[in-house]
Amino acid sequence: MSTEPAGGRRPPWWLLGLGATAVAVGTAELLAWVTGPVGAPLTAVGGVVVDAVPAPVKDAAIALFGTADKLVLLLVMVTGLAGLGAGIGAAQRANRPMGAVLLAVLGLLGLLAVLSRAGAGAVDAVPVVAGTAAGVAVLTLLTRAAAPAPDGPAGAGRRDVLTLAVAAAVLGTAAGAAGRWAGSVAARAPAARELLRLPAPALRERIPPGTDLGVAGAEPWLTPSGQFYRIDTALAVPRIDVGTWRLRIHGLVERELDLDFDQLTARPLLERAVTLACVSNPVGGDLAGNAVWTGVPLRELLAEAGVAAEADMVLSTSADGFTAGTPLGALTDPDRDALLAVSMNGQPLPFEHGYPVRMVVPGLYGYVSATKWVVDLEVTRFDRAEAYWTVRGWSARGPVKTASRIEVPRQRATVAAGTVVLAGTAWAQHTGIAAVQVSVDGGPWREAELGAVPSADTWRQWALRTELGPGAHTARVRAVDADGTVQTGEQAPPAPDGASGWHERGFTVA
Ligand SMILES: Nc1nc2c(c(=O)[nH]1)N[C@H]1C(S)=C(S)[C@@H](COP(=O)(O)O)O[C@H]1N2
Ligand SMILES: [Mo]
């Protein structure tokens, strides 16, 4: 009887480790479909990574991958796990049961990640614990098959071990993929969202004609929800059941409020077009969007609660633990319609954009104001509470900086000689855009034509028609806000409080 499998060659130990690790993670991801998304180890570990990365890394990731950053992180994690699995196999070969021990340690780290996430309970530990047990069991079985004890029953042949290991890897991966897919579509929330009927707004937005100047290739004035930029720390989009959603308003208030969705939407709803912008948006970037939001004015809810004189900030918290600190004045200002929004462009909020309730505050960057999946508002003070991105080095207050960009022509485009159309968008939320000026080839600043806007809270389209001869040209743009302040040409990176500088485009006339 041989202690080596038939054929005398060594079994592919790295593949045994890979198969066992795939079974562990796949089982856990599949079980998390049943116990709830908080128990999914990939989401939890990814969440820990996202929370831990410093601001420059976050900016670099957004610059490189844009909204695909989360998919990239998932692929990196899966690749890393495959490498760890192979290492676990090698360790098992070198020193039994070292591989199994390492796999258990990996499971323990996953468990700690899960338990560190917002809203984690005992049941969320089940997937990782059961998955790790399954992985260790598979590794032990594969080890026995590959290298039986000298006096034990004969081991399986090399080909059989190979087949078993590949089967484990494939089954584990399939279980994991199925679990993640099922977890994202089979929740109860989507059906409830489809059925949700929102009361008509008491006050509608009046959008004037001429908001869109109709230049081909320019961003539409109203951003369709499906095209709206998405920025958040959520690796798995929270899918909250509107029937169980509640909002608590507490802290420095006379009366705490605890509202469910029907109680919130029984109040008069206000419809407003508001442009959101991300502090990470570089000069000329596309991390901004304009939508029609419907919701309850936050000033009315705060007045109901009775805010203490010493308060100067509202710390909003989302179901997944993100927080934003918003200056109280921006929420209680009778002239600024800060909303607890329940709809976007006439539909219940998309899950990605905060369903069932999010904040929308004109004039402030998203990271200090636009909390999605919001469940808690604490009235407090800037010297008592710090929000998610403030802890990570971003400015505590985030008024949007005046911005303008050229969308047409595209960078390095070639356009026909004659009348050339330059067009784009400018914003200075809650102050308003009074003028947009364009300089071609370093020449004088010329006033562009402006699109109509319903208020100072949205961005504004601009266009300029000019005669240009053949050759290479550059254009730069700057805005003037309604206070008469000219947008600064001083260049600043996004961190810590938003990019500044004039956007420039080079193109060729042929
Ligand atoms: N819960 C939650 N809300 C959040 C964030 C987040 O990470 N989590 N990111 C904020 C940031 S940085 C921005 S720019 C806006 C983006 O909103 P959008 O994804 O709907 O465009 O959401 C804000 N609200
Ligand atoms: Mo942002």
Considering only CA atoms, which residue is closest to atom 7 of ligand 1? 232
CA 433 – ligand 2 centroid, Å: 22
Ligand 1 neighbour 23 (Cβ under 6 A): no
End-to-end CA distance of the chain: 82
Q: Is the CB of 145 under 6 A from ligand 1?
A: no
Ligand closest to the CA atom of residue 67: 1
Per-residue pLDDT for 3 more than 50? Answer: no
**Ligand 1 pocket, 278 CB below 6 A?**
yes
Whether the predicted pLDDT of 5 surpasses 60: no
Q: How far is the CA of 216 from the centre of ligand 1 (A)?
A: 29
* CA separation, residue 157 to residues 12, 17, 93, 108, 308 (Å): 12, 18, 17, 33, 76
For residue 8, the number of C-alpha atoms closer than 13 Å in the C-beta half-sphere is 0
Q: Ligand 1, closest atom to CA 373?
A: 1
Beta carbon of 381 within 6 Å of any ligand 1 atom: no
Nearest residue (CA) to ligand 1, atom 12: 367
Mean pLDDT score across all residues of the chain: 93
Closest Cα to atom 16, ligand 1: which residue? Answer: 231
**Residues facing 437 on adjacent strands:** 447, 478
pLDDT band at 59 (very low <50, low <70, confident <90, very high): confident
180: which residues sit within 8 A by CB, 6+ positions away?
Answer: 29, 40, 42
Ligand index nearest the alpha carbon of residue 231: 1
Sheet holding 414-415: strands in order across? 414-415, 503-509, 471-481, 433-440, 446-447
Q: pLDDT digit string (tens) for 124-171? A: 999 999 999 999 999 999 999 888 766 655 666 778 888 999 999 999
Please tell me if the CB atom of residue 35 comes closer than 6 angstroms to any atom of ligand 1. no
Q: Percent of the chain beyond pLDDT 90?
A: 82
The residue with greater pLDDT, 408 or 38, is 408
| CATH 2.60.40.650 for the 403-509 domain, yes or no | yes
Atom of ligand 1 nearest to the CA of 229: 21
The tens digit of pLDDT for each residue in 362-389 reads 999 999 999 999 999 999 999 999 999 9
Q: Is the peptide bond before 334 cis (omega within 30 degrees of 0)?
A: no
CA dist 73 and 79 (Å) reads 10
Residue whose token pair is 């462009």: 345
* Alpha carbon nearest to ligand 1 atom 19, residue: 230
The reported pLDDT for the residue numbered 374 is 98
Which residue from 67, 232, 281 has its CB within 8 A of the most atoms of ligand 1, so it is best to mutate? 232
What ligand has the least distance to the C-alpha of 228?
1
Which positions ≥6 away from 278 have C-beta within 8 Å? 229, 231, 287, 288, 365, 366, 367
Tell me if 314 sits within 8 A of 299, measured CB to CB.
no
Q: Is the pLDDT of residue 17 over 90?
A: yes
Model confidence, pTM: 0.86
Residue nearest to atom 24 of ligand 1 (CA): 371
Does 64 have pLDDT greater than 90?
no
Q: Where are the domains of the chain?
A: 13-187, 225-391, 403-509
pLDDT of residue 194: 83
- The predicted structure's pLDDT at residue 145: 87
Secondary-structure percent of the chain, ordered helix, strand, coil, rounded to 5:
35, 25, 40
pLDDT tens sequence across 427-479: 999 999 999 999 999 999 999 999 999 999 999 999 999 999 999 999 999 99
d(C-alpha 132, C-alpha 342), whole Å: 40
Q: Establish whether residue 58 lines the binding site of ligand 1, counting it when its CB lies within 6 angstroms of any ligand atom.
A: no
Q: Let me know: does 325 contact 338? Beta carbons within 8 Å.
A: no
> Ligand 1 centre from 370 Cα, in Å?
6
Which range has the top average pLDDT, 37-41, 392-396, 503-507?
503-507
Task: State pLDDT tens for residues 341-356.
Answer: 999 999 999 999 999 9
SS3 labels along 404-462: EEEEECCCCCEECCEEEEEEEEEECCCCCEEEEEEEECCCCCEECEECCCCCCCCCEEE
Ligand 1 within 6 A of 284 CB? no
Q: Which pLDDT band holds residue 505 (cuts at 50, 70, 90)?
A: very high
Cβ pair 317, 376 in contact under 8 A: yes
**Low-confidence winner among 52-56, 119-123, 207-211, 261-265 (lowest mean pLDDT):** 52-56
In this predicted structure, what is the pLDDT of residue 1? 35
Q: Evaluate: CB of 233 within 6 angstroms of ligand 1.
A: yes
Determine the Cα–Cα distance for residues 510 and 508; give it in Å rounded to an integer: 6
User: Ligand 1 in contact with 265 (CB < 6 A)?
Assistant: no
Q: Is the pLDDT of residue 73 over 60?
A: yes
- Residue 410 pLDDT level (bands cut at 50, 70, 90): very high
**Which of 231, 281, 355, 358 to mutate for ligand 1's pocket (most ligand atoms within 8 Å of CB)?**
231
State whether the beta carbon of 228 lies less than 6 angstroms from ligand 1.
yes
Relative to the CA of 320, which ligand 1 atom is closest? 1
Residue 242 phi, psi dihedral angles, 5° rounding: -60, -25
* The pLDDT of residue 391 is above 80: yes
Say yes or no: domain 225-391 is CATH 3.90.420.10: yes
Supply the pLDDT for residue 154.
60
pLDDT tens per residue, range 279-333: 999 999 999 999 999 999 999 999 999 999 999 999 999 999 999 999 999 999 9
366 C-alpha to ligand 2 centroid (Å): 5
State percent of the chain over pLDDT 70: 95
Among protein residues, the one with the nearest Cα to ligand 1's atom 4 is: 371
Confidence (pLDDT) at 152: 57
232-247: average pLDDT: 91
What pLDDT does 7 receive?
43
Instruction: Looking at the CA of residue 279, tell me the nearest atom of ligand 1.
Output: 14
Alpha carbon distance 305, 293 (integer Å): 23
- Contact at 8 Å (CB) between 274 and 360? yes
Hey, whose CA ends up nearest to atom 1 of ligand 1? 372
